[in-house]
């Protein structure tokens, strides 16, 4: 059977923007393509660089660039540069605490350049070297790979069939890069996109149960356990992503009231990675966002689990209105109160 092997993220990590990272990305991409992998995005995650410094030397908007994880003071001082930067991402580490000023960063992005909410997330206890943005940050030089594993479910009749396809591809990648000393590993997180074979929730509904019923079965814990324990060379997050507006079936569930923020947090606590591309209206209360972030942080600390929160806004739609993100990765929905 021919598997649809899609690399969502080929990410090179370096602390030297003057190094040969561009040639390395080209060489690695060529090796993957020769092995019948499709590559969606090439990414560069930098260590020890400010947003302004990166903006001065990298001008290729087809390249996804990240400065990694910033603390409270750094995020606030570099916010103006971020708002005017190109395809640049960062995450704000709230592991040590979160307050109204931290929430103010999100609302300032919504006010000044709402499309950049897609490039920003809050993080708690997130591990290094994940190739997925905006949670990625640099710890050591090398490269990591993140897949769009949902497409490996095409023609699968059971969850078990899909998991075996994933195992096959992980082993293939490990073999392909066996001689690469810079190969950090594979982030085996489930990163869905759009609809059909690319949608995680659509697959669950096809082979298991409707989403509202599936939530209270052990299907998600089974999958999350497999991707954590069977990955031969893990790095980064290795959990289930529930990106509300990137997975079309999940966006439909949101509109029907079947993917509340509470349900999102419940799924994240036992199998997922947090709140991801969750829509927020411009008239949402900052105090409500702070409450959610405080809970997310408390749960992460209690259960020693990486969690993040990425809220996205179109900068104009209020609660009860339909969004207009004009983003190829995001579904438009009727906005609900958090």
**DSSP β-bridge partners for residue 265:** none
| Extended beta strands in the chain, E state | 6-14, 38-46, 64-70, 88-93, 120-124, 142-147, 183-187, 274-279, 307-312
For the whole model, what pTM was predicted?
A: 0.97
d(CA 24, CA 183): 12
d(CA 78, CA 71): 11
- Mean per-residue pLDDT over the chain, rounded: 97
pLDDT of 1 above 80:
no
**pLDDT score of 19:** 85
**pLDDT score of 178:** 97
Residue pair 92/105 in contact (Cβ under 8 Å)? The answer is yes
Average pLDDT over residues 43-66: 95
The second-level CATH assignment, the architecture, of 6-312 is Alpha-Beta Barrel (3.20)
Average pLDDT over residues 61-72: 96
Give residue-wise pLDDT tens across range 164-196.
999 999 999 999 999 999 999 999 999 999 999
Average pLDDT over residues 287-294: 98
**pLDDT score of 294:** 98
Q: Where are the domains of the chain?
A: 6-312
Residue 278 pLDDT grade (very low, low, confident, very high; cuts 50, 70, 90): very high
**pLDDT score of 159:** 98
């Amino acid at each position: 059977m021919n598997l649809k092997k899609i690399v969502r993220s080929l990410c090179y990590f370096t602390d030297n923007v003057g190094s040969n990272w561009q040639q390395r990305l080209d060489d690695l991409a060529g090796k993957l393509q020769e092995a019948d992998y499709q590559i969606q995005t090439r990414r560069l995650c930098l260590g020890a660089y400010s947003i302004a410094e990166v903006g001065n030397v990298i001008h290729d908007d087809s390249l996804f660039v990240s400065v990694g994880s910033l603390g409270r003071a750094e995020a606030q001082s570099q916010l103006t540069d971020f708002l005017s930067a190109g395809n640049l991402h960062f995450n704000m580490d709230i592991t040590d605490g979160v307050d109204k000023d931290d929430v103010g960063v999100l609302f300032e992005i919504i006010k000044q350049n709402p499309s950049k909410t897609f490039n920003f997330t809050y993080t708690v206890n997130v591990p290094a070297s994940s190739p997925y943005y905006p949670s990625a940050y640099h710890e050591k030089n090398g490269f990591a790979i993140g897949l769009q594993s949902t497409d490996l479910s095409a023609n699968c009749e059971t969850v078990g069939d899909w998991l075996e396809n994933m195992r096959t591809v992980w082993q293939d990648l490990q073999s392909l890069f066996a001689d690469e000393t810079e190969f950090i590993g594979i982030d085996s997180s489930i990163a869905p996109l759009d609809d059909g074979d690319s949608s995680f929730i659509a697959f669950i509904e096809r082979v298991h149960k409707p989403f509202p019923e599936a939530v209270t079965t052990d299907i998600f814990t089974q999958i999350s356990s497999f991707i954590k324990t069977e990955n031969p060379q893990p790095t980064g997050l290795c959990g289930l992503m529930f990106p509300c507006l990137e997975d079309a079936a999940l966006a439909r569930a949101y509109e029907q009231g079947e993917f509340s923020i509470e349900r999102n947090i419940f799924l994240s606590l036992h199998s997922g990675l947090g709140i991801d591309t969750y829509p927020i209206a411009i008239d949402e209360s900052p105090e409500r966002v702070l409450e959610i972030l405080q809970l997310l942080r408390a749960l992460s600390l209690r259960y020693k689990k990486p969690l993040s929160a990425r809220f996205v806004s179109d900068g104009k739609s209020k609660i009860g209105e339909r969004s207009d993100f004009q983003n190829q990765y995001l579904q438009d929905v009727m906005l609900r109160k958090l």
